[in-house]
Amino acid sequence: MNKRIQLPLILFVCAAATLVFSCGGPEERDRPVSPVQIPIEPIEATPTPEMVLPPTPTPTPTPAPQTWENGWSVWNLEAVRGSGLAQRAKEFGATHIQIGGQALRVIEDLIFDAGRQEAVRDLAQQAEALGLKTLVWSRELNLGQGLFRFDPTDPYYAARQAAYRNVFQLIPELDGVVLNFADSPTKPWLVEPPLGVDAPAPAERTRFIIDMVYRVVARDFGKSVWIRVGDEPITEIEVIAEAVRRMNTPELGVIVSHSGWMNAQKEQLDWLLRSFSTQPVILEADAAESRLAGPRAIVSLAPQLSDHRSAWMNPAVKGVCGLVDGGGELVFGSPNEVNLNLLSGLAQGPNFRPGDAVEDWIVKRYGFQPGTREGSLLKSIYAKSWLVSKKICAVLMDTPFSFQWAVSGENAPQFDKQKLQFIEKDTLVELAQESYEAQTLLQNALNDLRQSPDIGSSQAFWDWEKRISDEYQLATLIMYAKQCYWGFQYWSRTHDEQEALLLEGHLRRLETIANSLQGSWSWNGETVDAQSVALFIQSIRSQFPRVLFGAQERKWNHIYEVSLRQISSTGFEISWKTEQPATGRCFVSNSYNTFGSALNAAMTPSTEHHAVLDGLQPGAQYWVKIEMKDLGGDTVRSGVFSIQLEAPDSV
């Protein structure tokens, strides 16, 4: 254990100077990644003769990194204090712990906040004793309204370096820094010098700031420096990538945020990993799934890890880091603890199968073998959990729904999907279908749980039942919230009297659900409780006149009980029901969410439908989407369902 160093007075003076310029960053958000814009013109920058930008120093040799990093990150200070976090991390095979989010905004928090400093020191000491590393986040830059000369003789340059120097002297057990530009009060590439001083190009400004920190952390103290990317727009990520290339420092690490790879299109993700292919890369994951329904739900990472296998198998990727707290609640002791096993299992490389890891966890945690009814049931719930949460919180499988959206005006959100910009009745029905599918899956899971005596007699049953029941209530709440939000958009355009009655009915139903809401939910960076829903309703009420002559519930034409059953090595049967007589068709594709020609499968109005597809590829996976039109002309579209054809045994 290193002995704490007594700081010279002059370093405290330099550090205090940072108070003049420092300010806290905004709260963490889960931003969607911008559409792919490739190729992006390279950024050229040549420093002017007046500004001598120092080259990146040759780093002090550091111990060789481990083959695979299995990091944990905590974003709430409560998770840092007294949670036994280091010991739990050791038990799950973690290699390091990151402290960021709300727990640590800027490096100065560890200088001027004695309580925060003590909590981080205690955790770092516990981690060091167990052979774990501790990394702290810092948002750079924190200039406020200040200017920066991009000159190493500038007083602010010395003050920033003094802040990092002070921290590593105050807490010598720390092992490195994670620079987070996405939530920085002042983005490095946007920093302007004083009037009359020429500014370097954006990539060179960013390189200068990274180098400013790297000189102290890596060269003077032999610690590691990481840069977190993925929450910025594509053009800004390119600036950071160019800055890192100019650093020419292979030891500089890159952490790709959860949204930066799990929400990205494949082409964009491939581009991002290529951009940082010369650096060690860690992929961040939300083990607590705080962005989809929150830690109170059951959400497994297994489907996402399976879908993004090419990412964690990329040669540039050297590890993962999982967020273990969401909404102030730790993942330990919940069904989502399985995600910690999944993340640690990625170290196995090509041999790792997420589905098998879930089975192993069910046996270890609950004692149910894979072949039993109970073991199969729990695995099925895990397998569908991410899709269920996505259908609840996302809008047509895209942007997560928010109770903080402005109903109209300049602050109203802009959506990529045209159907969300110019609302028709069909869109309202499709939005309801999305939530309805989540409700159906949750209700089926509840029914199966209650009919499984071995689960019902266990203590785990009550936890699973409560979580799924609460999530069902959330799905219903969000369904009516979507109808109120986009129903108001539709009524504002048409002033249709019938839609006014339906909107009034939705508002009243939403009020009733909100008043019975148990506790609060946290996802996508916001808290959802009765008060936040009341404010949401009030926002619509202020622009929508209460209908004096009543309200009305919409009669939904839902698609339900969708079943895909293989009937041969080259074919399968699809069956489904609708609540109202309808005709329709189904789309089938061997590529997820890319549907072309349609199969007319329900030519006569009915509530029960089926179709048979043959001549397909044995062993291939297929995706199905259903579209139905009722007698009134309204169209409802299902979500996407899939089936994996089993190939015949080879002779």
Q: How far apart are CA 211 and CA 57, in angstroms?
A: 8
The pLDDT score that the predictor gives to residue 238 is 96
Report domain extents, the chain: 9-56+69-347, 394-541, 559-644
Alpha-carbon separation of residue 430 from 8, 533, 606, 639 (angstroms): 66, 22, 19, 9
- Which pLDDT does position 10 carry in this prediction? 39
Class of domain 9-56+69-347: alpha beta
Q: What average pLDDT does this structure show over 528-547?
A: 90
User: What is the Cα–Cα distance from 598 to 54, expressed in whole angstroms?
Assistant: 62
Contact 292, 299 (CB under 8 A): yes
Strand 317-323 vs strand 176-180: parallel, antiparallel, or unpaired?
unpaired
- CA torsion 587-591-595-600 (nearest 10°) is -20
Residue 304 one-letter amino acid: Q
**Residue 116 CB contacts under 8 Å (≥ 6 apart), including other chains:** 77, 103, 104, 109, 110
Average of per-residue pLDDT across 544-549? 77
Query: CB–CB of 389/434 below 8 Å?
Result: no
CA 284 remoteness from chain centre = 9
HSE, CB side, 13 Å, CA atoms: give it for residue 10: 2
Secondary structure (3-state) at 564: strand
Q: Do domains 9-56+69-347 and 559-644 have the same CATH topology?
A: no
pLDDT for the residue numbered 7: 38
**Location of structure tokens 């960076």:** 525
CA dihedral 157, 160, 164, 169 (to 10 degrees): 90
3-state helix, strand, coil in the chain (%, to 5): 40, 20, 40
- In tens, the pLDDT along 340-380 reads 999 999 999 989 999 999 999 999 998 889 989 889 999 99
Looking at residues 13-30, what average pLDDT do you find?
38
Distance of CA 78 to the CA centre of its chain: 21
Overall fold of domain 559-644: Immunoglobulin-like (2.60.40)
| Phi, psi (rounded to 5 degrees) for 537 | -65, -40
Express each pLDDT in 421-478 by its tens digit: 889 888 998 899 999 999 999 999 999 988 887 776 677 788 899 899 999 999 999 9
Contact predicate 272/310, CB 8 Å:
no
**Run of H or E including 241:** helix 234-247
Q: State yes or no: pLDDT of 169 exceeds 60.
A: yes
SS (H, E, C) 603-625: EEEEEEEEEEECCCCCCCEEEEE
Average pLDDT in the chain:
84
Rounded Cα gap, residues 649 and 131, in angstroms: 48
pLDDT in tens, 215-255: 999 999 999 999 999 999 999 999 999 999 999 998 899 99
Per-residue pLDDT tens for 41-81? 333 333 443 444 555 544 444 444 457 999 999 998 988 98
Around 349, how many Cα atoms within 13 Å sit in the side-chain half-sphere? 5
Percent of the chain past pLDDT 70, that is, above it, reads 86
Report long-range pairs for 45-48 (Cβ below 8 Å, ≥24 apart).
Answer: 45/200, 45/201, 45/202, 45/203, 45/204, 46/201, 47/200, 47/204, 48/198, 48/200
**Largest interatomic CA distance in the chain:** 86
Poorest-pLDDT segment among 151-155, 165-169, 357-361, 482-486: 151-155
**Where residue 114 falls among pLDDT bands split at 50, 70, 90?**
very high
